[in-house]
């Protein structure tokens, strides 16, 4: 499994297939409109996940090929990838300010990813937590303002207990949306030695055991 971050909440997850006879799968989550200030490359995607319809999360025109689009809660299975969309709110007023949001869990290659989208509730409910289940890799917003910040993210991480944490949706160069930087989150979670990686290449056998690991990614501007 290869994970690339393009900024905001946009990731590409490249899957090699669980058997040699199975084709590779490219899954893209929350591509943004370039009006946010960041460059969004054209990406080959077999599956496109949209957590909500704000412009910095729902650029459906970025893919080059015919793509299977998922943009609502439910259970989906496509090309040996199992996806569960979980209903949530974008704010603490049950959606009255910014609407709803879909949390996605993605199961493939014997691992589970959870992408929180623009989760803004402040705390996760027991029902949501049960649906999310055991998570290997958690992609969680930490930049506050329009979604949860460092304090709330740290609390939710302690509830989900993933093996790897990839922070997202925070201030980076050229981004026109005013968000908090990454450093308050790293301080809140007590992470002093996090090393920024260009991409995350991971197999089940290489998942960390014991303490959770924070893996910040460097935003990419090319599809590569």
pLDDT digits (tens, 9 = 90+) for 143-202: 888 888 999 999 999 999 999 999 999 999 988 888 889 999 999 998 877 889 999 999
pLDDT at 95: 59
pLDDT at 35: 83
Do residues 29 and 7 make contact, with C-beta atoms less than 8 angstroms apart? no
Nearest-angstrom CA–CA distance, 32 and 28: 11
Do residues 171 and 144 make contact, with C-beta atoms less than 8 angstroms apart? no
Mean pLDDT of 66-77: 89
Domains of the chain: 2-214 (3.60.15.10)
- Residue 12 β-bridge partners: 4, 28
Burial class (CB in 10 A: 0-12, 13-18, 19+), 108: buried
pTM for the whole thing?
0.89
């Amino acid at each position: 499994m290869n994970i690339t971050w393009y900024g905001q909440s946009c990731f590409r997850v490249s899957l090699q297939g669980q058997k040699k006879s199975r084709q590779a799968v490219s899954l893209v989550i929350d591509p943004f409109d370039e009006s946010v200030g960041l460059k969004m490359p054209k990406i080959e995607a077999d599956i496109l996940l949209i957590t909500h319809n704000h412009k910095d999360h729902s650029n459906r025109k970025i893919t080059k090929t015919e793509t299977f689009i998922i943009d609502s809660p439910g259970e989906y299975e496509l090309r040996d990838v199992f996806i569960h969309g979980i209903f949530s709110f974008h704010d603490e007023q049950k959606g009255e300010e910014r609407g709803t949001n879909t949390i996605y869990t993605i199961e493939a290659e014997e691992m589970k990813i959870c992408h929180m989208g623009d989760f803004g509730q402040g705390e996760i409910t027991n029902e949501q937590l049960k649906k999310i289940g055991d998570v290997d890799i958690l992609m969680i917003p930490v930049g506050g303002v329009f979604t949860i910040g460092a304090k709330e993210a740290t609390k939710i991480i302690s509830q989900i207990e993933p093996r790897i944490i990839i922070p997202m949706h925070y201030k980076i160069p050229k981004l026109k949306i005013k968000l908090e930087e990454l450093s308050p989150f790293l301080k809140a979670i007590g992470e002093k030695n996090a090393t920024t990686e260009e991409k995350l290449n991971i197999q089940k056998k290489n998942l960390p055991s014991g303490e959770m690991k924070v893996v910040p990614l460097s935003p990419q501007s090319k599809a590569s």
